[in-house]
Every structure is written in structure tokens, then in C-alpha cells.
Structure 1
Amino acid sequence: MSDDSVVPVLIVGAGPAGLVVALTLRKNGIPVRIIEKTPRVQVGQRGAGIMPRSQEVFNLLGVLDDIHAKAMPIVPMRMYKSPEGIEPLLTFQLDPAVAPTPSRPYNNTSMLGQNHTEEILRTHLERHGCHVELGTTLYSFQPTDDHVLAHVLREKGDGETVETIKCRWLIGTDGARGVVRKQLGLAFDGETLKATHHLVIGDVQIKGLDKKHWHYWGDMSTILVMLRPTEDDDIYFLSVGGHVDHAKIVAERAGLERVLKVGTGRMDIVLGKIRYVTEYRPHVRMAETFRKGRVFVAGDAAHIHSPFGGQGLNSSVQDAVNLGWKLSLVEKGVAAPSLLDSYSEERIPVITEMLKKSTELFDNAMQAKSDGTNSEKAWYRGGELHMFGVNCRWSSIVVDERTPKEKTPVDPYGVESCSYTNAVRAGDRAPDAPGLVVLDSAEDTGMPQGTTSTSLFNIFGPSYHTALIFSDGTDSDKAKQIVSQLRAYPPELVRKVLVYHDPDGTPPVVTLGGADMSVVDRYGHAHGSYQVRWNEFVAIVVRPDGGIGGIIRSTEGLKRYFDGIFSAT
């Protein structure tokens, strides 16, 4: 097998994690193959909640507009009195709407069935020349020091063909029962939740319910009927828990019809077509590491947990983009493979905290009283679940010259600290800032200087770091030194942006001087979000995944950060 036949990256599993890591790699120009054992795309409601932090990731990848075009906000939950199940007992918002702010333009959860999200991701991936290879199953692989041999079976007509794929890196996004983690021999420690927490879930057609609410009945069986986030065919997500014969409900339509009517007390509800229905046994488990040599796991292949709280898909997406930009730099030859160790280092503490949160939410929901007592609290889905506070402040590859760096993870979800009032730190998400007036740009905007308005989220990208250099003359020499230092790094991998304040309405006389863009922070949003005084010098280095990699005050600090990233140059 010649080197020409080597695939840089093989991804096993075409769920959200696999598709996001593939799209991240392709946007960085890295060839990939992505295989999926199922012969056709999956349908299903699971993974419907897209948290604001993940919307920021989708914005970076250029897919958010398509997601928002199909998605809907979370509708209120309505609980019913038993046993008739007709009279509303309580109606409340699970995730009360929050107005967008300059630093958080996507401030609310969007609801979109996972099958629709995957369809959008596949479409964007195809625009980059990569197609999901359906009906292709990985059955074994052999890692070596410089490559991995993956052996796959491909469905072809009535038979199968065998192929051996030589790749430099293998990524397992093939779910909790997938081959990759198991063949790596990674421990998957945790627990299976008690039998009372087992569920039957599915996408079913239900007639007789309005589409303005989620509907919840707590009785002999806990029944949640959640509107499917599209307006077609009266399809709802159905969850049945409690002391019921789960296997019988799955096996027999009559059993499902009976528990639906008896559990809700509603004789007016009509069960229509069943797209799928399955028994679900919640597990809480995590792999001991997310990397072993040239093989990685991400998403459900690395961690599984209760679906309550909507953190699963979102954590998987954030796994994928974290791994994707780092692997891209290694493949481009500018980063050493040791950079990839930071994937597990940064994600495992976050996932550990997420497992605790989702289990607590599941317990609270299962213990909620049928009379509505404490139900609103048990079902609340805002706050830290939006994931704005998720951070990696302890990471060995972040540099912070403004705030002392954590030596170990202290608050991976940012629960104890609020980014509105506390200092923004290296390892945190990078806030947005709109209303930036472009004074000069290496890119032709087609508009007169000083008239183009943009935002930081329009400047950030998944294939380069963005260095925001705040300087209004007080430390102009430092700014020049920082720009000069940045020019030592590959220009396509670092975007240099000078950010000026405009306190008196008179923009400074600016030349690019080696920077890629100069902007005026006309309304002070950038200075405010990053807590920079208008006459202060500081450089904020934003990573390709939208996190802050460095808060820099010196050329030594800048060199320390990029030496840790571009370690092979």
C-alpha cells in the first residue's frame, strides 16, 4: 500500500460528533473519510436541544443560519391533574427566554430534531467534497506508531465487500456500543441507573394534543410528550417511565396504546404511526481517556448519561470542535502530536461535571410529584445548562498574564463564577462584540473605509487563531511588538486585529502595519466584554474553537502561548 493511499483522518460514526469533527477538519483543508454502519440516515428526536454555546460553535462552522431556519424555541410545559388528565395543573417555562446581549447574541436554547441537525451538517460537509459512506462497518483496526489500519465491511447489493483503510488518525464517534473504544480497551466506568429510571422513548404520531406545549402526566407511568421541533404530521417525542413493562410497550403497539391512555387518563388521544420506539436504560459512564496513540473517542463513544438537561449532543459537538482544530494543526505540520494530549486534558473535567449535572436533573425529574410540587424547579433548564461557563482555565496550553491560572480544574461549568461580573480568563468562551467599524482590512470589503460594520463573531473562524490587540496609543510600542511577533507565525493561521476605542468620536489615523484588520469599538462592546480599559494594552488570543487561548501583556507571553500551539515549527 503506497503512501498515496493514506487517508489523513478516518471518522467512524456519522452522528453529530462525527459530522462536526469532519466539517472542522474539512474547513481546515484536511481530507477525511467518514463511515456509518447504518445503511440509511436515522430518524429521531433525541438530541433536540441546541444550547447557546453550541450555537456559537455552529456559527463558527457556518451552519447556524440553516439550523435557525428549521429550529423552534422551547415551548412551555403543561402538567395535568390526575386521573382524568384533562385539566391543566401547572404551566411554566422550562427555559425562560433571555434577551440577546452584545456579548451573547444567541442567548436561548433552540429545538431541532437530531435528524434535521445531522442533515444540515451532511449538506455542508458535502459542499466540502466529503460524503458519509453509509452501510460501512468498522470491524477491527490495528494501530501502529505512524498509522492505523482499519478493516471495514461495505454493503454492496446483496453482498459485502471488504476494504482495508490506511489512515494516520482514527476517530471513534460510533456511540456507546461502538467498536473503537472497546477495541482500544478503554475502561468505561460508571453505573446503570436503577430500574425505576428506565424509559421507553420514541417518535410517534399523536392526535388530540396542541402544539403549543410539552405535555406531562405523572401517574402510574410518568409520561412526557414533547413537540417535535417541526410542524409536520403531529409527530411528538414520547417518553414513558415508571413501573411499567418496558419490553412489552416496545414489542406491542397495543401495549403502548394502553399505557398512553391509562397513564394520561385521556381517551381523546389517538396514537398514529410509530416512526420508532425503543427501550432506554440510562447509563452514566465515561472513558478513562479520550486518546490512545493515534486513536480518539468523542461524543457518546467517550461518555454517556441521562438525556435530561440536553447536555449530550452539545457536549459531543464541543468535544468534536476541540479535537478538530488541534488535529488540523498536527496534520498541517505546524503542531506536534503532543498538542493532542490537551484534548483529554481539557474535556474530561468538563464531562465529569456534566455527568453529575445530568444525573441530578434526571433524579429530580423522576422524583417530581404528580401534583406539581417542586415541578418547576425540577424541570428548569436555563442557567449553567446554556454552557456559557464551560471552560478549560487549567489547561496546559492556555496562557493568562492577567489572572492567575488554575493549577487544577476548579469550576469547569462556570457555575460559581458569572462571566458578567468576574474577570474573563484564558480558557473561557470568547464573547462577541457587535458594532465594530472597519477602518482598514487586508480583505476588500467593497465599501468605503470606516463604513463597514462587523462583529467579533464574524471575524473569528475555525481555521485560524484571532489575535485581538487592544491599544489606543498608551502602549503603541507594545502593540507594534506584538504585531511584529505575530508575523513570525503562518499568516493563514493567525488573524491579527487591532481594536481601538473611540471615546470622542474621532477615529485614530491607522495603517495596517502588518495587521490584517483595524476596527473601532464604537460602542465599547469589545472593551467591555473583555474587560479592557480604553487606554489599556492587552492582546486576547481566540482559538479556532471560540475559546480564549491567551490573555497577553507581553511578547514573552505571546511567544509562550504560540510555542505551545505551533510546536512543530
Structure 2
Amino acid sequence: MSPSVLIVGAGPTGLTLALALLKNGVPVRIIDKLASPRAGQKGNGIQPRTLEILKILGLLDDVLHRSTEIRPLRMYEMPGATKVEKEHALVKIVAPTPDKPLPNARGLGQDRFEEILFEHLGALGCEVERGTELRSCTENADRVSAEILKADGTVDKAEFEFVVGSDGGHSTVRHMLGLSFLGETREAEGLVVADMYVPKGLDHEFWHIFRGASLLGTGSTPGAQTAAGSDHVHFMFRSSEIPQLFTVIAGGPRTREFPVETRDGIIDYFYKATGRRDVVFGEMKCVSWWRPNIRMVDKFGEGRTFVAGDAAHTHSPTGGQGMNSGIQDAFNLAWKISLVYKKLAPFSLLSTYSSERLPVIAAMLEKTTLLLNETLKKETAAAGAAWNRGDELQMFGINYRGSAIVLDEGNTQPDVLSSAYSVGKVLRAGDRAPAAPVKCASDATVQTLLDVFSCQRHTVLVFTSDESAARAVIDATMALPEGVAETSVVLPRESAFQLSDAKVLEAIDRHAQTIYQVEDEPTVVVVRPDGAIGAIVLEAGGVGRYFSKILQ
């Protein structure tokens, strides 16, 4: 079957999109101009909401096995750089709850996370075409014609129904579309970032910060602090899931005076700044310059061509939202492309990708930029205030409440959320679909609703103990095109009735009814393939009203 979607860029965003589309039966072709996968940890924080998405995609077990908890950081007194001034938890480790069984972020280098995605794509027969780049594309009413330069120098001309650019901040696809990319680049706040082994001198169970040091040559001792801060230097060593491997981040007004693109340059820079010669450096895996580039598009696509991840938004890594946002872009887009590809939904459904993601990304940029500004302020960073990560960064509050394709017939009160990142007390259509512990009536296995949700179809949850009410919802779901949705009946307790054409789940200790705020029976909650609530309705007819917003 010829590929119908061309994905340009094989980072976490493009790989996630490819996997979600393939699981929906949509053939894809994914290319990347790099000859080999990217090296380096880069964005290594996987937030709790993204873990839930990875659960729905079938990746979670591999991610949990290869990742670590987010470790606490140590800040050192200057001068001397040996005495721990403060020890600070970036994230508070909390116990799982019925609605949030995956509440804690995980640390996993981007390169190792991509390896997991490669493995799962390979199992589906999909390989990334390396050393291959998009040269041009033109669009007509029902196709996008692309010229692709292959690794062997030949040019391949091919047609696709859709093209998605997940090709980074310098996106070729974005430039071809002529999309705006407004924002700012902060040249003066550039940093050098390197992955290096540190076999001795630093405890791998922590991140380490040396802040406010002064370089030799100014008349002061190593690690001394300057009054004006003009000679200010800071170092962070971020430990990884790989023993002894740290991501070394260094910055300051004089950083570019040193040959920090080399291993010896970084070591010399650190020794001069801190005097800590007990810290032993090993192999350097990779190194690059980084500067804050805070930008986003004004729309996520044009016609049949879209952008996602860094191609659509770049920002500070503070808060660990970047890679996560790209993955969530992909998950939002995949199910919509799938329905349009299968001729089950109108082309107009794809416009909701942009309208739903724009408010989320705007709120995210605001939050990460505020964190960056606080982190760069010497006084707040030294006090630890800049390292306090709020609950919003878990991303549970990301919502699409204002979307034209959600339906909420269960709430009559006005929506008062402040942003697309906020958690409300009242569950509404557009919110994250919470987890809840349930027991499968057919075999008594205990699972959570995250095990019930699918990236391949909508999940229609009907909360009722009335068999006739359940039957009405099942019939409404079965009237939809095949494969679009599946019904799960959530009983408040053990019940005598059995159903052959729907899953029957028992809510353990009524947690599901409490979490989903079920006050009247039946309550029907339609969960989209991206794990967001598409509809909350109070009778079977609401199922059809919701899907009339989605389907042809």
C-alpha cells in the first residue's frame, strides 16, 4: 500500500505520529535528513500526562523500564564549590491515586526514548529513511506532490494525501508553507550543552549546580563571587538514566571565550570556574551551543500540510514541556488524519488540530518563559525559588474546552478556567479523561481506564446499573461506522447482567463514578483516541449528537 502521509523529521514528534497512524492503519513514510539518529540526552523529562499517552500507545512498559525518577538537585556554596548549600527536589514524588496512577515524571534521554519508538515502528514494518530530505512540495485539492532528495543523490517524486513537518526549529516544511514564527532569540543567554561521563567527584543520584562562580584572571580565587556578576559563570550537571553520564550545561558572559566545543575546553572552563579538580571527566558523547529561542506559529498548518513539535514552537527547556508538547501535538493530529484518510470524517476536522493546540502552546510558552526568566535571576535561583515546579507542569490540566468539536450536556455552569493548562474542579468535555480502577466482568482482571482507552477508536463509557440504558448507548455506538467507537459499561458494583457486544467493567470502590462526577444515570462520557473527553451527555441520543460534529 502506498504511503498516504509523509512525515518529515524523525524526532520524538514525528516518530510518535508515525506510530499512532500506523496503529490506525494509515500507511506512512518518514524521512530525516540526518544520516544517523541524533545523539544526546536533550529533553529528558517525560511528564505524567505524556506517560498516560504512552500507555495508550503501548510504549509505557519500555519507558518505565529504561527511565529513572527525576532526581533532586544540589546547589553548592561559592567560593569553594564543595559544600552543599541547598538540596532541592525539582518535583515532589507523590503516591499514585485512583485518578492519576502515573503521577511522577520520568527521566529518559531523548536518544534512548527514540530507540524505543524505532523498535515499535520496526515491529510494524516501518523504517526511517536516513539522509533523505524534502526539496519541494506543491498541493492541489486532494494530493500533495513532493520532491524528495534521497541519500544516494537521486530525487524521488511522490504524492501523498498529507505532509507533516516535525523537522525542528529550522523546519523546511514551515518555511515552504510560509508560516509566521514570531518570538525572540536571546543570543546573550547562550549555553554550551554536552553529554559527558563523570566517573568521579559527583554523586550520580543528584543534579549539581555551581552558580555564581568567577573565573580566574580577575584577581579572585576559583569559585569566588563577583559583586556585579559581569564575570558570572554557572554550571549544571544533570544526571541521566545511564550510570556516570551527565548532561553538562555551562553559561555566562565569558563562555564563548573558551573553546567549549571541545572536551578539554569544557573541563578547563569548569576547573577555572570552581577549582574542583576532584571532579574527573571521561568521554564526551556530544556537544552543542544552545540559546533561548522562544517562538510559535500562528497556525499549525495550511491545507493538507501541517507542522508539529519544534517545527511549530520552540521555547526554553525549563519545566520540561518541549518534547512532551510535541508528542501531544502528534497524538492530537493522528486520530483526525486517520478518520479523514478513511473517508469517515470531513476534511474540515483537520482544522481543529490548529484551533485546539494553539491555546495550549501559547500557555506553555508563557509558563516556560517565566521559569526561564526566574532561573536566570541570580537571587531567585540561588534561593531555589526558580526550581519550584508547579503541578501544572505535569500537564494533567491541558484541555480543549473551547473546541468546536466537544459536546458538554452535563454542565450548565459557565467555564471559568484561566487557560488551556488549568485544572478545574468540575470535569468537562475537552478535559483529560482521568484514570480509575476497574475490574473486567468477564475475567475479573483489575486494570485502569487507561487500559480501556485506545488510540484506534473512541471509547464510549456509559455509567449505569440499568441494562436497558446501557443497551440504548450500545445500540447508538453500533450505529456508527465500523471501528469508530467501542462501548464500555461501567457498573457501580457487581451486577447480574452480561453483555456480549460491549465491555462490562465494575468500578472498584466506586472510584470511577466519583472521579467522573456521575450524579445521574445514565452518564455517557465519550473519550477521544487522544485521551481527551470529547463529550459528556446524559442519554443515548447524545452519542449521535457528538459524532455528528466529527463524522461525515
TM range (shorter): over 0.9
Distance 1:155 1:366, change over 3 A: same
Shift of 1:516: 1.4
Shift of 1:470: 0.8
Distance 1:518 1:253, change over 3 A: closer
Q: Does 1:558 align with 2:551?
A: no
What are the within-5 Å matches in structure 2 for residues 435-450 of structure 1?
436-440=438-442, 447=443
Q: Does 1:531 align with 2:524?
A: no
Q: Separation in 2 of the partners of 1:264 and 1:405?
A: 58
What are the within-5 Å matches in structure 2 for residues 397-408 of structure 1?
397-404=405-412
What secondary structure sits across from 1:523 in the alignment?
helix
For residues 100-152 of structure 1, what are the alpha-carbon distances to aligned partners after superposition, in whole Å with 9 as ceiling and x for unaligned?
01111100010000000000011001111111111111122112221111111
What are the within-5 Å matches in structure 2 for residues 330-345 of structure 1?
330-345=340-355
Q: 472, 486, 490: which is aligned to 1:481?
A: 472
What are the within-5 Å matches in structure 2 for residues 380-459 of structure 1?
380-404=388-412, 410-414=418-422, 417-418=423-424, 422-434=425-437, 436-440=438-442, 447=443, 451-459=444-452
Q: Specify the alignment match of 2:242 in structure 1.
A: 230
Q: Separation in 2 of the partners of 1:37 and 1:132?
A: 10
Q: 62, 77, 80: which is aligned to 2:76?
A: 80
Q: 358, 362, 365: which is aligned to 1:352?
A: 362
Kindly indicate whether the alpha-carbon contact (under 8 Å) linking 2:474 and 2:502 is maintained by their aligned counterparts in 1.
no
Distance 1:386 1:327, change over 3 A: same
Shift of 1:438: 2.3
Q: Specify the alignment match of 2:219 in structure 1.
A: none
Kindly indicate whether the alpha-carbon contact (under 8 Å) linking 1:394 and 1:409 is maintained by their aligned counterparts in 2.
no
What one-letter code is carried by the residue in structure 1 that aligns with 2:492?
Answer: H
Q: Separation in 2 of the partners of 1:380 and 1:229?
A: 22
Q: Does 1:511 align with 2:498?
A: yes
What are the within-5 Å matches in structure 2 for residues 239-388 of structure 1?
239-246=249-256, 248-369=258-379, 373-375=382-384, 377-388=385-396
Shift of 1:305: 0.3
Q: Separation in 2 of the partners of 1:491 and 1:454?
A: 26
Q: 179, 191, 206: which is aligned to 1:199?
A: 191
Q: Specify the alignment match of 1:520 in structure 2.
A: 506
TM-score in terms of structure 2 length? 0.93
What secondary structure sits across from 1:357 in the alignment?
helix
Shift of 1:245: 3.2
Q: 150, 173, 180: which is aligned to 1:180?
A: 173
Q: Specify the alignment match of 1:221 in structure 2.
A: 233
Kindly indicate whether the alpha-carbon contact (under 8 Å) linking 2:260 and 2:269 is maintained by their aligned counterparts in 1.
no
For residues 25-54 of structure 1, what are the alpha-carbon distances to aligned partners after superposition, in whole Å with 9 as ceiling and x for unaligned?
001011101001100111111110000000
Q: Separation in 2 of the partners of 1:521 and 1:120?
A: 33
What one-letter code is carried by the residue in structure 2 that aligns with 1:235?
Answer: L
Q: Separation in 2 of the partners of 1:336 and 1:380?
A: 44
Kindly indicate whether the alpha-carbon contact (under 8 Å) linking 2:476 and 2:541 is maintained by their aligned counterparts in 1.
no
Shift of 1:453: 2.7
Q: Separation in 2 of the partners of 1:353 and 1:489?
A: 36
Q: Separation in 1 of the partners of 2:140 and 2:523?
A: 44
What secondary structure sits across from 2:65 in the alignment?
helix
Q: Specify the alignment match of 2:119 in structure 1.
A: 123
What are the within-5 Å matches in structure 2 for residues 50-199 of structure 1?
50-156=46-152, 160-193=153-186, 195=188, 197-199=189-191
Q: Separation in 2 of the partners of 1:398 and 1:305?
A: 29
Q: Does 1:470 align with 2:463?
A: yes
What one-letter code is carried by the residue in structure 1 that aligns with 2:495?
Answer: P
Shift of 1:382: 4.1
Shift of 1:281: 1.4
Q: 494, 500, 508: which is aligned to 2:485?
A: 494
What one-letter code is carried by the residue in structure 1 that aligns with 2:287?
Answer: V
Q: Separation in 1 of the partners of 2:30 and 2:273?
A: 43
Shift of 1:423: 1.3
What one-letter code is carried by the residue in structure 2 that aligns with 1:543?
Answer: R
Identity across matched positions, percent: 40
CA RMSD of aligned residues (A): 1.8
Kindly indicate whether the alpha-carbon contact (under 8 Å) linking 2:20 and 2:57 is maintained by their aligned counterparts in 1.
yes
Q: Separation in 2 of the partners of 1:562 and 1:258?
A: 63
Shift of 1:428: 0.6
Q: Separation in 2 of the partners of 1:411 and 1:346?
A: 12
For residues 424-474 of structure 1, what are the alpha-carbon distances to aligned partners after superposition, in whole Å with 9 as ceiling and x for unaligned?
11111111111x23224xxxxxx4xxx33332111111001100101123x
Shift of 1:16: 0.4
Please, which moves more after superposition, 317-326 or 477-486?
Answer: 477-486
How many correspondences in the alignment? 532
Please, which moves more after superposition, 402-411 or 72-81?
Answer: 402-411
Kindly indicate whether the alpha-carbon contact (under 8 Å) linking 1:542 and 1:550 is maintained by their aligned counterparts in 2.
yes
Shift of 1:70: 0.5
For residues 296-349 of structure 1, what are the alpha-carbon distances to aligned partners after superposition, in whole Å with 9 as ceiling and x for unaligned?
000000000001110000000000000001101111111111111110011000
What secondary structure sits across from 2:281 in the alignment?
strand
What one-letter code is carried by the residue in structure 2 that aligns with 1:531?
Answer: Q
Q: Separation in 2 of the partners of 1:247 and 1:277?
A: 16
What secondary structure sits across from 1:564 in the alignment?
coil
For residues 480-512 of structure 1, what are the alpha-carbon distances to aligned partners after superposition, in whole Å with 9 as ceiling and x for unaligned?
33222211112422111111112xxxx322132
Q: Separation in 1 of the partners of 2:366 and 2:412?
A: 27
Q: Separation in 1 of the partners of 2:73 and 2:53?
A: 28
Q: 45, 48, 52: which is aligned to 1:49?
A: 45
What secondary structure sits across from 1:255 in the alignment?
helix
TM-score in terms of structure 1 length? 0.90
What one-letter code is carried by the residue in structure 2 that aligns with 1:496?
Answer: T
Shift of 1:408: 10
Distance 1:532 1:484, change over 3 A: same
What secondary structure sits across from 2:161 in the alignment?
strand
Kindly indicate whether the alpha-carbon contact (under 8 Å) linking 1:7 and 1:165 is maintained by their aligned counterparts in 2.
no
Q: Separation in 2 of the partners of 1:269 and 1:137?
A: 42
Q: Separation in 2 of the partners of 1:409 and 1:386?
A: 17
What are the within-5 Å matches in structure 2 for residues 11-50 of structure 1?
11-50=7-46
Q: Separation in 1 of the partners of 2:129 and 2:75?
A: 44
Q: Specify the alignment match of 1:461 in structure 2.
A: 454
Q: Separation in 2 of the partners of 1:169 and 1:91?
A: 49
Q: Separation in 2 of the partners of 1:59 and 1:251?
A: 38
